[in-house]
Amino acid sequence: MKILVPVKRVIDYNVKARVKADKTGVDLANVKMSMNPFDEIAVEEAIRKKEAGQAEEIIAVSIGPAQAQETLRTALAMGADRAILIQTDDIVEPLAVAKLLKAVVDAEQPGLVILGKQAIDDDSNQTGQMLAALLGWPQGTFASIVKVVGDGIEVTREVDGGLETVALTLPAIVTTDLRLNEPRYASLPNIMKAKKKQLDVKTAADYGVDISPRLKTLKVEEPAKRAGGIKVKTIEELVDKLKNEAGVI
C-alpha cells in the first residue's frame, strides 16, 4: 500500500503572529515557517505504518511556494520516500487543495491519505473532508488511533465528550489529531540523505485544476487584548462574580 501525506508550510508555531497594518492578512515577511504540526503527526503515522510493514511507500505532497520544498525535505528526512511540490505563489483555499490532491490521488493510487485535521495558519479544518467527498472515500477524522485491521482500518476519533471508533474500508482518508503520536526528530544522517530523494515540481495546470479563489477575505484583526484579571478573596465572591458579572454559571 502507498500512503499519501499532504504537508503544508505554515508560520512556525513558536512565532507570535502579527497582523499586517492594512488588515489584509498575517505578516509573513522574515517570519520562521515550518511544517504544520498536525501534518508532522501525519508523516509520523505514515512512517510507523511503513515500519510495521503495513505500507510500502510514503509520498509527501505540498502545495505552495518554492520554499515549501524545505517542508517536503523535512518529510523526506523523517522518512517519506519521495515528494511532489505543486508550486504556486497564490493563496490556495481548502477546496482547491482538495481538488489538487484528488488529482494526485488519481495519478498515484494510494491506499490511504493521512492529513492533518487542520493547518495552524487558517484553521480551516476542511481539506480532508472535502477530499473524501471528491473521491467518494470513507473518512476517519480527528484520529487518535489508526489500526490496520484485515483489509481495512479502525480509526479512533476524538469527538466531544469521548472517543468513537469507526471501521473503514480502504482506500480511505484519515485526519490526525494531536494525540495520535509524537513525531520524531529527523535524524541528522537522514536530513543529509533527504537531499538525494526524488522531489518532483509540478504546477496546478499540470493537473488541470482551477485554483482561483472562491472566498474573499474582508479583514484580519488581532484578538482583543486581554484585560488583567482580578483576585477574589473568597469562594463565595468567585461564585457570585461568575454568576452575576460573567454570567457563565
Partner 1 sequence: MIRDQEIFNQLRDTIRRFVNERLIPAEDRVVEDNAVPAEILREMREMGLYGMTVPEEYGGLGLTTEEEAYIIMEMGRASPAFRSKIGTNNGIGSQGIVIDGTPEQKARFLPKVAAGEYVASFALTEPDAGSDAASIRTTAILDGDEYVVNGTKRYITNAADASIFTLMARTDPSNKGAGGVSAFIVEKNSPGLTVGKPNRKMGQAGANVYDVIFEDCRVPAANLIGGVPGQGFKTAMKTLDRGRLHISALCVGVSQRLVEESVRYAIDRKQFGQAIAEFQLIQAMLADSRTESYAAQCMVLDAARNYDAGNRNVGDIAACKYFASEMVGRVADRAVQIHGGAGYMSEYAVERFYRDVRIFRIYEGTSQIQQLLIARNLIKEFRA
Q: Which is nearer to partner 1, 24 or 67 (CB)?
A: 67
- Phi, psi values for residue 50, rounded to 5°: -70, -40
Residues that bind partner 1 (CB under 8 A): 14, 70, 73-74, 77, 184-189, 191-192, 194-195
Write the secondary structure of 178-215 as one string of H (helix), E (strand) and C (coil). HHHCCCCCCCHHHHHHHCCCCEEEECCHHHCCCCCCCC
Q: Which is nearer to partner 1, 7 or 92 (CB)?
A: 7
Question: Rounded to the nearest whole angstrom, what is the least distance from the CB of residue 189 to partner 1 in the complex?
Answer: 5
The distance in angstroms from the start CA to the end CA of the chain is 52
Q: Which is nearer to partner 1, 77 or 132 (CB)?
A: 77
- CA gap 142, 188 in Å, rounded: 31
- CA gap 143, 156 in Å, rounded: 6
Q: Which is nearer to partner 1, 52 or 246 (CB)?
A: 52
Quick one: which H or E segment has residue 128?
Answer: helix 127-135
Q: Is the dihedral of CA 33, 190, 107, 38 positive or negative?
A: negative
Question: Rounded to the nearest whole angstrom, what is the least distance from the CB of residue 38 to partner 1 in the complex?
Answer: 17
